[in-house]
Amino acid sequence: MNTGTEPIIWLTIFVLSIFIGVEVISKVSSTLHTPLMSGANAIHGVILIGAILVAGTAQSTPILVLGLVAVILGSINMVGGFVVTDRMLIMFSRPRRALEKPVRRELDQ
């Protein structure tokens, strides 16, 4: 476990990461609030890594079962999060018809 000066190093990484987190999204347009929330949500799905680690080193069956539950939850969070964010963003990046030629109504339905 962590001993000696190591907690200071972890604290340093923690504090610097806070500033990066604030900095990278400081200029987001309100158009993208929903996908951004969803994308950030997917990123904390890396808890899956932690779940895999504790499940993989489980010493008893109850702990293993609990660990596997965490693995399932973590992968729902991570995979579902990235997939649903992509589904939203495809619609943003899809080429739209320009204002000048708006017709083709008959093909739309």
Partner 1 sequence: MTPAWAQLGYLVAAVCFIVALKGLSSPRTARRGNLIGAAGALLACVIVFLVSDLNHLLPILAAIAAGTAIGVLGAYRVQMTQMPQLVALFNGVGGGAAAIVAIIELTELGTGSAPVFDLIATAFTIVVGSVSFAGSVVTFLKLQELMTTRPVVFRGYPIVYGLGLLAAVGLSVGLVLAPSMLFALLLAAIGVALGVLLVLPVGGADVPIVISLLNAFTGLTVAASGYLLENILLLVAGTLVGSAGTLLTRLMASAMGRSLINILFGALKGGSTLGATTVSDRPVKSSGPADVAILLAYAQRVIIIPGYGLAVAQAQHTLRQLVDLLIERGVQVDYAIHPVAGRMPGHMNVLLAEAQVPYEQLKEMDEIDPEFKQADVALVVGANDVVNPAAETTPGAPIYGMPILHANQARQVVFMKRSMRPGFAGIENELLYEPTTTLLFGDAKDTMGKLLAELKALTV
Amino acid letter, residue 58:
A
Nearest partner of 39 among 74, 73, 77, 94, judged by Cα = 77
Q: Provide, rounded to whole angstroms, the least separation between the CB of residue 26 and partner 1.
A: 7
What would the x/- binding string for partner 1 be over residues 8 to 27, using CB under 8 A? --x--xx--xxxxxx-xxxx
Q: How far apart are CA 80 and CA 86, in angstroms?
A: 10
Residue 31 DSSP one-character state = G
If one asks whether residue 1 binds partner 1 (CB under 8 A), the answer comes out as: yes
Counting contacts by CB under 8 A, is residue 34 touching partner 1? yes
Residues 41-100 that bind partner 1 (CB under 8 A): 41-58, 63-64, 66-94, 96-99
